[in-house]
């Protein structure tokens, strides 16, 4: 069992987001801010993970409810970061080891950085280790005050003297603490400062006065500890996550025509020699094979696109699969559980739902095919509708291999069109069509000679 414990602070209001939703639930790069933090923390395989919640605690807890083994500590009211960590004490009582403290609004932090922090902390036997960074603009951050090179205190921006304000080494707000002295010392923090809050960074001075070892780990890339306090910063973080993912994909042989407008989630896989055009969104667990082409304006969620498939402009594809060499679009909607078989085609303003289209079959124009199994080499004419819903129940349609459905046909499910059968245009098919048969349901055409001339005379 690991003796590393993680506490994530997420009780603050996030006033500058100007949002009805809690700040840590805002999303960037496919996950909420706090999910990014939890994913980074997972690498430590913590024995305990506690999220300190306060502002809109129910919503944060509900959003993270699916994650097993999370503890939620309620901080009410929010009296500062020192007070926030104190609320986690009941979850850590009787434990030993290291507490890693994270902020729910710092989503770019990497697992490797956390491992290095814990490594330094434990090998040096420190009571506290602070993750720090040097930045061009330290305004707003706590400054690292050093004496003879060693960290002596952290001074908050609002409490800093002019000389301290010039310090460019800042506190990331991320720390490792030895559990043993932690909660006792937290209780000795006061709130006599510019903000009247219990500052967690005050622990540094308290520990140094008690002769306890405090270490620092300096980050190479200060962007990693960027916090999100506003929509502007949320967009900045999203852009960094996008660039990181897109650079990985391009290095692995994927062409991004415009990397600035390709939004590809962190878990998405794309094969070499696939070309992705502008304004494409690939989300969730989507996997795209090699040699595919995804044209502009496409959104694909939790779907699999096999090698050589082409998605033409402006399609929405959710929880579906395209077989090798399939072609869909432009303007196609594939709703969940649709499968477009090898070299099959779905085009122009067609919608599929819970439908399997066999190898080489086509639904090329203006059709709705739902709850349907379509065999191989079937041609479905323009404007074909499966009437799969009677207002209460959904029913299945089966169209067997090689069948031909004439344009403007309604197939009233449950119904089967047999192998190689033909359905005449404009039919309403209520009964099964045997293999090899022709079904026509439209009435016989009647022409009334001279009708137009007669109508004119009546006027």
Q: Which residues bind Ca ion (CB under 5 A)?
A: 227
What minimum distance in Å lies between the beta carbon of 15 and ligand UD1? 10
Measured from the CB atom, the residue of 203 and 374 that comes closer to ligand UD1 is 203
| Choice between 30 and 227, CB closer to Ca ion | 227
N-terminal to C-terminal alpha carbon distance within the chain:
95
Q: Which does 118 bind (CB under 5 to 8 A by kind): ligand UD1, Ca ion, none?
A: none
Residue 306 CB, shortest distance to ligand UD1, in Å, is 43
Gap between the Cα atoms of 243 and 260, Å rounded: 8
Residue 137: how many other CB atoms lie within 10 Å: 8
Shortest CB 227 distance to Ca ion, Å: 4
For residue 124, report the phi and psi dihedrals to the nearest 5 degrees: -85, -5
Return the closest-CA partner of residue 326 out of 313, 352, 345.
Answer: 345
Query: 453: which 2 tokens?
Result: 């001339």
The binder of 11, among Ca ion, ligand UD1, none, by C-beta within 5 to 8 A per type, is ligand UD1
Residue placing its CB nearer to ligand UD1 in the complex, 11 or 249:
11
Alpha carbon of residue 51 to chain centroid: 20
Minimum distance, C-beta of residue 131 to ligand UD1, in the bound complex (Å): 10
Cis? peptide before 414, omega within 30° of 0: yes
Shortest Cβ contact with ligand UD1: which residue?
Answer: 142
151 binds, among Ca ion, ligand UD1, none (CB under 5 to 8 A by kind): none
Q: Considering the candidates 5, 26, 121, 365, report the single residue annotated as catalytic.
A: 365
Q: Which tokens go with 403? A: 């069948």
CB 334 within 8 A of CB 309: no
Residue 98 contact among Ca ion, ligand UD1, none, beta carbon within 5 to 8 Å by kind: none
Nearer to ligand UD1, 72 or 141 (CB): 141
Work out what residue 78 binds among Ca ion, ligand UD1, none; the CB cut-off runs from 5 to 8 Å by kind.
ligand UD1
**Residue 365 annotated in active site:** yes
Sorted by sequence, the CB contacts under 8 Å of residue 363 that are 6+ apart come out as 345, 346, 347, 350, 352, 357, 369, 374, 380, 384
C-beta atoms surrounding 192 within 10 Å: 6
CB distance 107 to 33 below 8 Å:
yes
Q: How far is the CB of 229 from Ca ion (least distance, A)?
A: 6
Q: Which is nearer to Ca ion, 200 or 300 (CB)?
A: 200
| C-beta of 14 vs 97, nearer to Ca ion | 14
Of Ca ion, ligand UD1, none, which one does residue 92 interact with (CB within 5 to 8 Å by kind)? none
Q: How far apart are CA 8 and CA 52, in angstroms?
A: 6
- Give phi and psi for 442, each to the nearest 5: -70, 145
Number of other residues whose CB lies within 10 A of the CB of residue 301: 17
Helix, strand, coil percent values for the chain (each to nearest 5): 25, 30, 45
Q: Closest residue to Ca ion, Cβ-based?
A: 227
Nearest-angstrom CA–CA distance, 250 and 107 = 23
Using CB under 6 A as the criterion, which residues of the chain lie in contact with ligand UD1 when the complex forms?
9-12, 52, 54, 75, 78-81, 83-84, 103-105, 141-142, 154, 156, 170-173, 199-201, 227
Least separation, in Å, of the C-beta of 235 and ligand UD1?
18
Known catalytic residues are: 365
């Amino acid at each position: 069992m690991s003796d590393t414990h993680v506490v994530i602070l997420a009780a603050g209001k996030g006033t500058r987001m100007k949002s009805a939703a809690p700040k840590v639930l805002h999303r960037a790069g496919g996950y909420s801010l706090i999910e990014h933090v939890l994913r980074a923390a997972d690498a430590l395989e913590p024995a305990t993970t506690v999220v300190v919640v306060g502002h809109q605690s129910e919503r944060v807890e509900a959003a993270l409810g699916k994650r097993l083994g999370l503890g939620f500590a309620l901080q009410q009211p929010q009296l500062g970061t020192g007070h926030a960590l104190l609320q986690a004490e009941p979850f850590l009582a009787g434990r030993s080891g290291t507490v890693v403290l994270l902020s729910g609004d710092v989503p770019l932090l990497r697992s490797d950085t956390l491992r290095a922090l814990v490594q330094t902390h434990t090998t040096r036997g420190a009571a506290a280790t602070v993750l720090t960074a040097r930045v061009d603009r330290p305004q707003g951050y706590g400054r690292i005050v050093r004496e003879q090179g060693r960290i002596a205190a952290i001074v908050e921006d609002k409490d800093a003297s002019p000389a301290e304000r010039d310090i460019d080494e800042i506190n990331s707000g991320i720390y490792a603490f030895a559990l043993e002295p932690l909660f006792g010392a937290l209780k000795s923090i006061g709130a006599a400062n510019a903000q009247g809050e219990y500052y967690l960074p005050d622990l540094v001075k308290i520990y140094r006065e008690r002769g306890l070892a405090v270490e620092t780990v300096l980050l190479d890339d200060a962007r990693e500890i960027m916090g999100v306090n506003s929509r502007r910063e949320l967009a900045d973080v999203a852009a960094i996550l996008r660039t990181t993912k897109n650079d990985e994909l391009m290095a692995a042989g994927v062409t991004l025509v415009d990397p600035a407008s390709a939004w590809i989630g962190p878990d998405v896989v794309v094969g070499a020699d696939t070309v992705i055009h502008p304004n494409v969104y690939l989300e969730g667990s989507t996997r795209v094979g090699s040699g595919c082409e995804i044209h502009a304006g496409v959104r694909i969620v939790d779907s699999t696109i096999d090698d050589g498939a082409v998605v033409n402009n402006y399609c929405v594809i959710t929880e579906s699969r395209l077989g090798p060499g399939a072609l869909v679009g432009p303007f196609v909607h594939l709703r969940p559980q649709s499968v477009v078989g090898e070299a099959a085609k779905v085009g122009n303003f067609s919608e599929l739902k819970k439908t399997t289209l066999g190898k080489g079959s086509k639904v090329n124009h203006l059709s709705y095919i739902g709850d349907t199994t379509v065999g191989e080499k079937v041609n479905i004419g323009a404007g074909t509708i499966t009437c799969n819903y009677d207002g209460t129940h959904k029913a299945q349609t089966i169209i067997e291999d090689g069948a031909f459905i004439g344009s403007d046909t309604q197939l009233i499910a449950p119904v089967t069109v047999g192998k190689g059968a033909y359905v005449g245009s404009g039919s309403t098919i209520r009964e099964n069509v045997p293999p090899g048969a022709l079904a026509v349901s439209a009435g016989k055409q009647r022409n009334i000679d001279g009708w137009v001339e007669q109508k004119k005379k009546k006027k």
